[in-house]
Structure 1
Amino acid sequence: MRHETGGVVPLSVQVALGASHLIVAIIQGIIAYRGGRGRLPRNHWIGFRGTRSLSSESAWIHVHRRAAPLTWVSSAVAFFTGGAIILLDGSSEWLILTTTLAADSAIIILMIIAWKVGHQGLPDS
């Protein structure tokens, strides 16, 4: 008995999925670069935004400097995943799906850990 392994993902879907990962990588890279140098302005749109990190300029800088290394790693995962998805032309749906799910899970886990590491050493408000 032959088992169906899934169809081929259209190139347009692969490019869109890969491009979205590359955009995430760029945004995370900006956060890591500027945040690691204490040059990411405190705001309500980008960065590790929470009650404690937004409480003061020094808290904001502290969180982003400590979180920068893991944010860089997460950015690299997103970058290489985006490139791989685009280059896997003609690949099965299952390969694209498992690659995307594994990488996105890693990105989320890395960012949660970065959040926790960033907030270590902040005084409770």
Structure 2
Amino acid sequence: MYATIMSATYLIVGVGTLYVGLRARQAKLPMNSWIGLRTLKLMADEDTWVLGHKAAAGYLMFAGASFTIGGILFMIIDESLIAFVSLPILAILLITTVLATKKANAAAEQYRTTKALEA
């Protein structure tokens, strides 16, 4: 039962994160208060939101793929190994989220600097 719950949870999170990353890459992730990287620089306006998320899309998709693979692994491995498999996957999520946020903020800052120089 534990493996089923963990597998379903990881698959839902993984597929959801992959979807967000794909929408961000296509510049089709609308600014909202629920989904995406919500920092002050990205929430400044629609342009910085789109550019920042487009820059971070690869990291988001990698995190989603890691979770999806973890969800599939939980279906086939012994339940006693789930905690050991979860730890590296959660570490990947943490690292990719930090890297995605840094890259998105840098892209937003570069856009704002360029826009200010043009004005």
User: Shorter-chain TM-score: which interval?
Assistant: 0.7 to 0.9
CA distance in 2, matches of 1:34, 1:121: 17
Q: 2:57 aligns with which of 68, 91, 114?
A: 68
Aligned equivalent of 1:4: none
Unaligned runs of 5+ in 2: 114-119
**Match for residue 85 of structure 1?**
74
Aligned AA (1:96):
I
Shift of 1:113: 0.7
Whether 1:28 and 2:14 are equivalent positions in the alignment is: no
- Using structure 1 for the length normalisation, give the TM-score: 0.83
Pick aligned residue for 2:91 from 105, 113, 119:
105
Report whether the alignment pairs 1:54 with 2:43: yes
CA distance in 1, matches of 2:49, 2:17: 16
Alpha-carbon distance in structure 2 between the residues aligned to 1:112 and 1:98: 22
- Give the C-alpha shift of residue 92 in structure 1: 5.1
Q: Which runs of 4+ in 1 moved over 2 A?
A: 121-125
Cα distance in 2 between the residues matched to 1:78 and 1:18: 9
Say which structure is richer in helix. 2
For each residue in 1:71-98, what CA deviation from the matched residue of structure 2 results, as whole angstroms up to 9, or x when unmatched?
111111000001001111xx252x2111
Q: Residue type matched to 2:24 in 1?
A: G
User: Identical aligned pairs, as a percentage?
Assistant: 23
Measured in 2, the distance between the counterparts of 1:77 and 1:30 equals: 13
How many matched pairs? 111
Q: Which moved more, 1:73-82 or 1:102-111?
A: 102-111
Structure 1 segments unaligned to the other structure (5+ residues): 1-11
How far did 1:121 drift?
A: 3.2
Give the residue type in structure 2 aligned to 1:27.
G
Amino acid at match of 1:18: S
Larger radius of gyration: 1
